[in-house]
Amino acid sequence: MYEYLPLLILGGILGVLSTILIIAYACIRKQKEAIGFDRSMADGEITRRLLRYAKPYWKSFLFVLFIMLFSVSYDIVAPILMGNIVDLIEEDFAMSDLLRLVILYGSILILSLVCTYVQAIVLQRTGQRIISHLREDLFTHIESLSHNQLNSIPVGKLVTRVTNDTGAISMMFTNLIVNLIKNCFIVIGVLVAMLALNYMLTLMVLCFVPFIVLFTVVFRKFSRKAYRRVKDGTTDINTFLSENLSGMKIIQSFNREEQKKDEFDRKNRALGRSKTGEMLVFSVFRPLVYMLYVSSVLCLLYLSGMGYIKDISFLGQTVTSSLVVTFYSYINKFYNPIQNLAEQFNWLQSAFASAEKIFTIFDMQPEVTDAPNAIELTEVKGNIEFRDVWFAYKPDEWILKGVSFTVHAGDTVAFVGATGSGKTTILSLLCRNYDIQRGQILIDGHDIRTIRLSSLRRHFGQMLQDVFLFSGTIRSNILLDAEGIDDEQVIEACRYVNADHFINKLSAGLDEPVRDRGNNFSAGQRQLLSFARTIVHRPSVMILDEATANIDTETEILIQDSLEKMMNIGTMLMVAHRLSTIQHADTIIVLSHGVIVEQGNHDQLLAHRGRYYDLYRMQFEREQLMR
């Protein structure tokens, strides 16, 4: 057997050196990624950011690591006990000795199972708390994004980030991290035990380590790309479904079912190809590791068999059947964690790919934020002033060009003009959904950029053309989880805007279910509910953006007196195509291409015979023709 000694020693040394070189290469590669050689997020950065969420629960993880030592002890001690049992069977043995070893083996096994069970329970509870925290932070961050940022991200993509991607990360905290550490403990413990038994056979095992590390590095590279493609494909198909299921009525109306089916099939096939590529990477790695395991076993059997047959000892250690059995078990224990790494890498790369997507959202800094010394407005009178305001959604494409006007508290001001003239933009800027590039917007003498966003928006009530109702009940849609508002106030608000006319006819009244986006109510009914929702929160400034555009004639009659009463609540800013709804406004501002061309009350503008007069005359003639 000594003729194999130089070969084994050389193989062991090469194994250690190759491992060091491969690890060094991986570190250099990771450093390059970190400083920008690769556009993808480095694993180290992802790990650090994820571990911040685990930090508050370090005691739970420490407890799990402690009990893990007991479960690992089974993997280290069991092969030695098996070898001792083989020695007893080969010799004349007392049944009591065999029984003692079997009881010891069974006791360690039971202890390992109990520790594994406790470990799983603690990890599941801790992991779910971490993921819940991450999911809450992500949703809160999405809420902080500006309208411009939210408009640039498909809804389906955000849904995927909050649900699918956080679910993929959940496995990392509930299983992966601790099992990776456990497998490292097992590998180190097994190597120490093998070295203590026979270091020459251990060197033989180390000869295969460089190949394991090499396969792992290569697998890591290809698996990350494969998982990134799967995540992109999943996001793409979720975005498609989110948009097209919401617009299914339009698809059916224009008879585009076949075209949309073909588009879905293309995206579905692309996702299928990504999944196949992911499975291919996974299916190659595990058989390669298994091949190394089989090669190790064959070498063990050959070398130990030669020593056993020729009765040659390894540096004073005789090759016995118990040593072969023990080493066989240890090789199995050594490769099992590595083989499990294939599946764990499977989940780990999925978690890292998901984390990369999530942190991309986190890295989007909100465009509209509170100033460091932002003030809190406890009361708003409603004095509004625009001073030379310039605004563009895209650089140098100005929507508003030097707009200046003043609104006194309690006044009703209406904005009219052609589509794209900047009417809705003015209302959005007032609520600070976007920040202006030049000029100032003042409310009660305060620049809105110096006011806390939550404080500013609390005093505004918006009634828009496209009314969004949430799934729930009429009551929940009016209250929006606001505290301190009782049913009497809700009923009074509904009565105030004449919404009680149709609510009282419903079997459940305020508890009538509201389906997706309120599709079980007419457009006019949804608009009346948005009026009630605004009134019940008692805003100081009310904004009506084409709020009567979708109201039928019968419903319009119901709300005409409501509009007059709402004008007495506070300052009101209106955008309306129906000029009949703004005739009683204190001031009418006419916009054209982002510039104010006229302003005054209804009678003054008609007498001026300018742009407003032309709009009014064209609309009057159109209504006459329709009659």
**172: Cβ contacts below 8 Å, ≥ 6 apart:** 50, 347, 348, 351
Q: Give the sign of the dihedral formed by CA 583, CA 584, CA 589, CA 593.
A: negative
pLDDT score recorded for residue 617? 86
Q: Are 314 and 196 in contact (CB under 8 A)?
A: no
pLDDT reading at 548 higher than 70: no
Query: With a threshold of 0.85, does the pTM exceed it?
Result: no
DSSP-based helix, strand, coil % in the chain, nearest 5: 70, 10, 20
- Out of 3.40.50.720, 3.40.50.300, 3.40.50.10860, 2.30.180.10, which CATH number does the structure's domain 384-626 have? 3.40.50.300
- Closest to 497 measured CA to CA, from 431, 551, 459, 571: 551
Tell me how long the chain is.
627
- Closest to 453 measured CA to CA, from 545, 385, 371: 371
Q: Which of 27-36, 134-143, 349-358 has the lowest mean pLDDT?
A: 27-36
Listed in order, the ranges of the chain carrying CATH 1.20.1560.10 are: 2-37+53-362
Q: Compute the average pLDDT of residues 154-182.
A: 82
pLDDT reading at 302 higher than 80: no
Q: Compute the average pLDDT of residues 462-489.
A: 85
Q: Are 203 and 332 in contact (CB under 8 A)?
A: no
Q: What is the Cβ-side half-sphere exposure of residue 126, based on CA atoms within 13 angstroms?
A: 25
pLDDT reading at 39 higher than 50: no
pLDDT score recorded for residue 8? 47
Listed in order, the ranges of the chain carrying CATH 3.40.50.300 are: 384-626
pLDDT score recorded for residue 202? 77
CA separation for the pair 479, 537 (Å, rounded): 8
Q: What are phi and psi of 420, to 5 degrees?
A: 90, 5
Q: Are 103 and 135 in contact (CB under 8 A)?
A: no
- Please calculate the CA angle 275-277-279 and round it to the nearest 5 degrees: 70
pLDDT score recorded for residue 38? 37
Q: Which residue has the higher pLDDT, 73 or 373?
A: 373
pLDDT score recorded for residue 26? 46
Question: Which ranges constitute the DSSP H helices of 91-198?
Answer: 95-144, 147-152, 155-160, 166-171, 177-197
Using pLDDT thresholds of 50, 70 and 90, give the confidence band for residue 24. very low
pLDDT reading at 447 higher than 90: yes
- Decide: helix, strand or coil at residue 38: coil
Q: Which residue has the higher pLDDT, 446 or 553?
A: 446
pLDDT score recorded for residue 29? 47
Tokens, residue 341: 């790494």
Measure Cα distances from 402 to 437, 485, 593, 594, 598 in Å: 11, 41, 11, 8, 14
DSSP 163: I
Mean residue pLDDT of the chain comes to 80
Using pLDDT thresholds of 50, 70 and 90, give the confidence band for residue 20. very low
CB atoms inside a 10 Å sphere around CB 402: 15
Using pLDDT thresholds of 50, 70 and 90, give the confidence band for residue 342. low
Q: Which residue has the higher pLDDT, 255 or 362?
A: 362
Q: What is the Cβ-side half-sphere exposure of residue 369, based on CA atoms within 13 angstroms?
A: 8
Beta bridge partners, 460, equal 541
* Strand ranges in 232-374 using DSSP code E only, listed in sequence order: 313-314, 317-318
Using pLDDT thresholds of 50, 70 and 90, give the confidence band for residue 94. low
Q: What are phi and psi of 521, to 5 degrees?
A: -125, 155
pLDDT reading at 304 higher than 90: no
Using pLDDT thresholds of 50, 70 and 90, give the confidence band for residue 305. low
pLDDT score recorded for residue 311? 46
Q: Are 415 and 547 in contact (CB under 8 A)?
A: no
Q: Compute the average pLDDT of residues 524-552.
A: 81
Q: Compute the average pLDDT of residues 474-501.
A: 87
Measure Cα distances from 239 to 16, 22, 267 in Å: 49, 40, 11
pLDDT score recorded for residue 100? 76
CA separation for the pair 121, 71 (Å, rounded): 15
Q: Which residue has the higher pLDDT, 149 or 304?
A: 149
Q: What are phi and psi of 418, to 5 degrees?
A: -70, 165
pLDDT score recorded for residue 444? 93
Q: What are phi and psi of 544, to 5 degrees?
A: -120, 105
- Out of 1.20.1560.10, 3.40.50.720, 1.10.101.10, 3.30.70.2500, which CATH number does the structure's domain 2-37+53-362 have? 1.20.1560.10
Pairing of strands 317-318, 313-314: antiparallel
The pLDDT > 90 percentage for the chain reads 18
Q: Give the sign of the dihedral formed by CA 290, CA 293, CA 299, CA 304.
A: negative
Summarize pLDDT for 580-616 with one digit per residue, the tens.
Answer: 778 888 999 999 999 999 999 999 999 998 999 988 8
Using pLDDT thresholds of 50, 70 and 90, give the confidence band for residue 27. very low
**Chain CA centroid to CA 565, Å:** 44
Q: Are 257 and 284 in contact (CB under 8 A)?
A: no
Using pLDDT thresholds of 50, 70 and 90, give the confidence band for residue 89. low
CA separation for the pair 265, 237 (Å, rounded): 10
pLDDT reading at 69 higher than 90: no
pLDDT reading at 318 higher than 90: no
